[in-house]
Amino acid sequence: MKLLNDLFAFILIVSAKYGIDESHDVSHSMNVLHYAHNIYESQVCICPLLKTYQRVIYIAALLHDMCDKKYMDETEGLDEICKYLSPRIEENEVEMIRNIVSTMSYSKVKVNGFPDLGEYMWAYHVVREADILSAYDFDRCMIYHLKQNDGDIVSSFNNAEKLFANRVLKHNEDGLLLTEYSKANYMKLHTTAIQRMDTWKIIMKNPDL
């Protein structure tokens, strides 16, 4: 529990330092951790080697956005994460977390494909897919764009809708979902996202608003 407390303290400190908004701060870290836990529990039966990397998976899930280039220099952020972790976990675990976090983003996977991480390749996929499942939250995407567009709800909705059409709603057909848990659960999230977009369209057409 001490490590978990330390990790959340770090997230709060880094979020405040770099102005990380609600779309990527502690609530997002919590969501990704829960998805990572669910994927891990499902996938460990298929790949027992994952037991060796459970701590790496959970830490990477929590800290993955604490070096996001949207808010800071990515290399400096990664160095800060690793410096914080070094007294707390094994050095080989720190290196695994660096390798996972630095290669798991959608944009990097689309350009470079999946990295070759050897024995902890499935640990990487657990964390990566946990983040992907969290991306189906349409309101979270709108919150990010709302912050970028000075509170303009229409622009925020349009930007979020475009991102979902070009990226999020294509996750499965783009071959980004490999674990059994993600394959079994993404469609419910997919459908909920579409319903959310449809509801926003109705709300924004309300003449009294």
In angstroms, the CA 45 to CA 12 distance is: 34
Q: What domains sit in the chain, N to C, each tagged with a CATH number?
A: 2-204 (1.10.3210)
Name the amino acid, one letter, at 121: M
Q: Per residue of the chain (209 residues), what is the pLDDT tens digit?
A: 799 999 999 999 999 999 999 899 999 999 999 999 999 999 999 999 999 999 999 999 999 999 999 999 999 999 999 999 999 999 999 999 999 999 999 999 999 999 999 999 999 999 999 999 999 999 999 999 998 878 799 999 999 999 999 999 999 999 999 999 999 999 999 999 999 999 999 999 999 99
Please report the sign of the dihedral spanned by the C-alpha atoms of residue 145, residue 112, residue 126, residue 98: negative
Distances (CA, A) of 117 to 98, 121, 155: 11, 5, 39
- Residues 6 or more apart in contact with residue 188 via CB below 8 angstroms: none
Cα separation, 186 vs 166, in Å, equals: 16
- Please say whether the beta carbons of 178 and 129 come within 8 A: yes
